[in-house]
Amino acid sequence: MANFFQTIFIKNSKLNVNQLIVKKTVISFFFFFVLAGAAIGGWKWLRHQPATADGASKPIRNVLNTNEAIFKGLLSNTHLTKEYPVSAAVKKARVNGDIGMKTPFDPAKWQMYVVKKNGDTLKLRLEDIKKLPKTEVIFNFKCIEGWSQITRWGGVKFSDFIKAYGLHDEMGMKYVGLSTPDKEYYVGIDMPSAMHPQTLLCYELNGEPLPVNQGYPLRLIIPVKYGIKSLKRIGTMIFDDQRPPDFWAKKGYDYFSGL
């Protein structure tokens, strides 16, 4: 009689029922151990991969990057986030997140530093920004924590700002980076999303100056992304072809955080 392991090399038609059961059992166990081994080995391998600068391990970051590439491709520059009538906007917008806003700060001395590609730095005051055409956006602001609310924001379109200050070389770069004056909070935005027609350098909420805890004098409002990207209290703006550091991406969140 064929022994245990030899059965697997014998054609089914040459085996009796009992031998056939043995053969199938041997094959099943073989695959079970091979696959379990591969799964455990794969997990161990994943755990031992070096972390990337942004915190996620390399293979995981590769998967996230692939996802991002796909979704970035889906984000059309002409696709507009839904807008609402003024009456739909909440009267008191929720305040969320105060990273980079705890350092003592004198709004009267505020300037936004815009570092150009050639290294020159523009120093802009709120009056400079307010001279540009004003745009309002009323949309459903979404936080990754799970809440959303319809809010009404006013300011200058990021794209209008870029054009008004002749930042063409900068616009040709892949990313814009924003940070608070104390550099505690910072975001990186892909240029197509920054140039999206609903992205604002925002100085008004419900037609009033921004409250200090919501980013006075100037914040970003970027409706095509989750709230984490709408940095409050802009201190510095930079441009780069490499991804500028991003506070939440460093902690493992999706770099683009698109909606």
Ligand X SMILES: Nc1nc2c(c(=O)[nH]1)N[C@H]1C(S)=C(S)[C@@H](COP(=O)(O)O)O[C@H]1N2
Which residues here bind ligand X, judged by CB under 6 A?
Answer: 93-101, 143, 180, 185, 214, 227-228, 230-233
Please report which helix (H) or strand (E) contains residue 59, including its range. helix 58-74
- Using CB distances below 5 to 8 A depending on partner kind, what does residue 230 bind out of Mo ion, ligand X, none? ligand X
Q: C-beta of 150: minimal distance to ligand X in Å?
A: 12
Residue 92 or 131: the one with the smaller Cβ distance to Mo ion is 92
Tell whether residue 227 is a contact of Mo ion (CB under 5 A): yes
Residue 84 Cα distances to 26, 63, 115, 255, angstroms: 65, 36, 35, 28
- Using CB distances below 5 to 8 A depending on partner kind, what does residue 198 bind out of Mo ion, ligand X, none? none
> What backbone phi and psi angles, to 5 degrees, belong to 51?
-75, 150
Residue 23 or 232: the one with the smaller Cβ distance to ligand X is 232
Residues in 134-153 at the binding interface with Mo ion, rule: CB under 5 A: 143
Tell whether residue 223 is a contact of Mo ion (CB under 5 A): no
Q: How far apart are CA 253 and CA 139, in angstroms?
A: 23
Q: C-beta of 141: minimal distance to ligand X in Å?
A: 7
Number of DSSP helices (H) and strands (E) in the chain, helices first: 7, 10
The length of the chain in residues reads 259
Q: C-beta of 32: minimal distance to ligand X in Å?
A: 45
Q: C-beta of 210: minimal distance to ligand X in Å?
A: 8
CB neighbour list of residue 144: distance below 8 Å, 6 or more residues apart: 226, 227, 228, 253, 257
Q: Which of 76, 96, 56, 85 is nearest to 231 (CA)?
A: 96
Q: C-beta of 146: minimal distance to ligand X in Å?
A: 10
Residue 198 or 257: the one with the smaller Cβ distance to Mo ion is 257
Tell whether residue 26 is a contact of Mo ion (CB under 5 A): no
CB 96 within 8 A of CB 185: no
